[in-house]
A and B are shown apart, each in its own frame.
Chain A
Amino acid sequence: MDWLYLYMPIAGMDILWPGLLLIGFSVGVIGGFFGMGGAWMVTPGLNILGFPMAFAIGTDIAHIAGKSMVSTMRHSKFGNVDYKLGFVMIIGTMVGIECGAQLIMYLERLGVVGGVVRWVYVVFLALIATMVFYDFYKAEQKKRAGIVEGEKGTEGITWYKTLHKIRIPPMVHFKAAGFTCSAWLPIMVSFATGALAGFLGIGGGLLRMPALVYLIGCPTHIAVGTDLFEVMISGLYGAFTYSMKGRIELVAVFVMLTGAAIGAQIGTVATKYAKGYGIRILFGCAVLACMVSIILKQYGFNNSAAVVVLGAISIISLYICVIMFRGAANELREKKAREAASRSY
């Protein structure tokens, strides 16, 4: 069974390559569907494969950059990426990450960093999950009451409508996202999410995707595509800095990226067959799984935390595959029926 193992030249050890491929595939499916990097999902998987942890973060970030590139290309064809919004947000994200990281260093000097970071992370994940499920509940109630706003259907939380009333120049029109707002809104929101990401030491997709939906007012599909574009840029930067520190295993990056490219197609195309709220609810479930795993880690149950994360990844990615294949089968069936009908005339 030697052929199942691949030599990692930098780490100097053999790793089960189908395992790497599978991790890449699952994260590709989930990342393409939700519009996030998914670093929190990769580390426990690599840990179980026996991958040296010194290389885990850098390898993870580089593979996420490549995977986000594949997903962004696909989302772009659907018209799901608002590049103008993405570029405007990069400014806020970069400055925010630096500020968040400075805050971490200050806390480090006070000697309270570990516990504070984990609990802040848990609180934010709990808030996001609550917001997502409350939003769904509210939208469901509105739908039952027959209230339909706009052409995209019923919406629950519409905080962005209030924020769009802020008219500090320059006002910018975001064509793909379909709204006009003050440029300061996406800059400030991305600054806040960037600062939090820097503070928590994460990529930020978990925070940015809901922020794009609830605070900036992007339709869910555009939020997913635009966030992936952001993840791609920050991922490439992250890959460079971690490579400079020698914390990257390129062979593993390529193997994971191959799996992720296939998964990303499935995850991205699945968004075509899912309603915005379907994506939001599944996202909420992923956020909950991430939160539970962090709480378990905080109390030293590392194996249970890994089981929760890997279990959630398996279930969610399988469910997304079902959405994609069922939707694709329906589309092809309808297409055939249309062609048959046109031939009979």
Chain B
Amino acid sequence: MMERAKKIAVGVAGLVTAVPSLVWAGGEKASQLVVVADTRVINNAFVKYIADLYNTNTLLFAVWAVVLTALYGAFLGFFMDFLMARTGLDLKSRKIIEH
């Protein structure tokens, strides 16, 4: 039992170590770069907040990035839907013809 647990722990540790490199499988060695946003030249309060987060709290920055992208995507989806509904086109049905 202990042996098995040890094997699983080694596997999990290996995976955790490997995961950051997995994402870069197809990319260059850009992960070695350290980029800091220069917040001194930013005037907009919200942009400054995001840039500050980028420098100080990566996890919260990542959460905001996903949430804002999803929210903006959903907003654009509904807004475009509203506009498209006014074109008079039938946007709820279509015929599937392959050839």
Contacts and interface: CB of A to CB of B under 8 A. Distances in A.
Interface of A: 7, 9-12, 53-54, 57, 62-63, 65-70, 73-74, 77-80, 98, 100-102, 104-105, 117, 139-140, 143, 152-155, 198-202, 219-222, 236, 238-248, 250-251, 253-254, 257-258, 261-262, 264-265, 269, 271-272, 275-277, 328, 331-332, 335
Contact of A65 (B50, B73, B78, B84): B73
B22 A105 contact: yes
A7 B37 CA distance: 12
Contacts of A7: 41-42
B93 A332 contact: no
A69 B98 contact: no
Contacts of A198: 22, 25
Given A53-B28, A68-B73, 17 more contacts: A11-B35, A62-B65, A69-B73, A73-B81, A74-B77, A77-B81, A78-B94, A101-B18, A140-B99, A152-B96, A236-B70, A240-B63, A246-B61, A253-B69, A265-B84, A269-B89, A328-B89
Task: Kindly list the 5 A-B residue pairs having the minimum CB-CB distance in the complex, ordered from nearest.
Answer: A201-B26, A66-B73, A243-B62, A276-B98, A69-B73
A102 B88 contact: no
19 contacts: A9-B39, A10-B54, A54-B35, A65-B73, A66-B70, A74-B84, A79-B93, A101-B23, A104-B22, A139-B98, A154-B99, A155-B99, A243-B61, A243-B66, A245-B58, A250-B65, A261-B77, A277-B98, A328-B87
Given A9-B47, A220-B98, A242-B23, A247 B88 contact: no
A57 B54 contact: no
B80 A153 contact: no
Nearest to B52: A9
B47 A78 contact: no
A77 B83 CA distance: 15
B72 A257 contact: yes
A331 B89 contact: yes
Given A66-B76, A70-B80, A331-B89, A9 B50 contact: yes
Contact of A153 (B84, B90, B99): B99
Given A9-B47, A104-B25, A244-B59, A221 B94 contact: yes
A101 B22 CA distance: 5
A266 to B, nearest CB: 10
Nearest to B14: A102
A152 B77 contact: no
B70 A69 contact: yes
B94 A73 contact: no
Contacts of B80: 70, 74, 261-262, 264-265
Contacts of B51: 9-10
Contact of A236 (B54, B69, B87, B99): B69
A152 B47 contact: no
A246 B24 CA distance: 13
A244 B62 contact: yes
B66 A239 contact: yes
A248 B65 contact: yes
A91 B61 CA distance: 27
B1 interface: no
A335 B81 CA distance: 20
